[in-house]
Amino acid sequence: MSTPNLYLPLMDLSSTDRASVAQSIRQACMDHGFFYVINHGIDDDTVSSLFSESKKFFDLPLSEKMKLERSKDLRGYTPPYAETLDPSSKFKGDLKESFDIGPTNDSLNQWPSKESLPAWRVTMESYREKIMNIGFRLISLIALALHLDENFFTKIGALDSPMGFLRLLHYPGEIPESDMGKYGASAHSDFVMITILVTDGVPGLQICREKDRSPQLWEDVHHVEGALIVNIGDMMERWTNCTFRSTLHRVVAVGQERYSTAFFLDPNYEFVVECLETCCSETSPPRFPPIKCGDYLKERIRLAYSQ
């Protein structure tokens, strides 16, 4: 079952009252695990170029896209039906197609040829740099929200050569009768520290705040013009001893083509994630042992893709 619209809190990145914004982020991360960000500095032209180039790639014939099929290092193209994000789903094969880009100048990245899409790579790398900077600003506010120094995550080395992946997503419009009931992206939570999402405004995103509730209640996340959508990932939930919530979400088919781009931000591969001091006590001891970021992600990815 679902309700009409869930109005998530808006965080103004241009606000000079950082303490107030941090407190609002804290409440949002405890209540929803999701919030909007406005006045973030990414202009409409940048977003328009991003989606224009994304559409150019997804409009290519499947045979051309498959030449850049996603590698074992998770860079490149994933066709429709190749993933089922919810392993318990009775429907196998989510409707979306995607393209993953790793850190800038990463030799493992795959790129369309300059002949076919001359502006594609520079557009993606430019957007990635901008969204990474927003990620750093958000992590600073999240540190304050956790009652830590605003530079805490920088000081402990978590943001030294961080892992940042860009995922371009395309959801189909009209779907054949044989695909009725399937999801654009089935229910899942993100593995990461935080996710920053930009969409083209087409609806479909839903969240489930109480994943153990039966039946689950799915709420529609409505579009806010010019806003980014931020959500907490499983790694941040682990880091905060479940103080902050990594929330189930999915994308339903609405009969319209939909484009979005997600940016997944994580610490560097060798960084050890362990319970933050402000998130545990004698009555609330750490629930998870320390683990290297890379080892955690590798295991989560292995489980996800072995289904």
pLDDT at site 28: 97
pLDDT at site 1: 44
Cα(100)–Cα(172) distance, rounded to whole angstroms?
Answer: 18
pLDDT at site 180: 87
How far apart, in Å, do the first and last CA atoms of the chain sit? 26
pLDDT at site 2: 45
pLDDT at site 306: 54
Q: What is the pLDDT along the chain (307 residues), one digit of tens a residue?
A: 445 467 789 999 999 999 999 999 999 999 989 999 999 999 999 999 999 999 999 999 999 999 999 988 889 999 999 998 988 888 888 999 999 999 877 789 999 999 999 999 999 999 999 999 999 999 999 999 999 999 999 999 999 999 999 999 999 998 888 888 899 999 999 999 999 999 999 999 999 988 777 788 999 999 999 999 999 999 999 999 999 999 999 999 999 999 999 999 999 999 999 999 999 999 999 999 999 999 998 888 877 765 5
pLDDT at site 292: 96
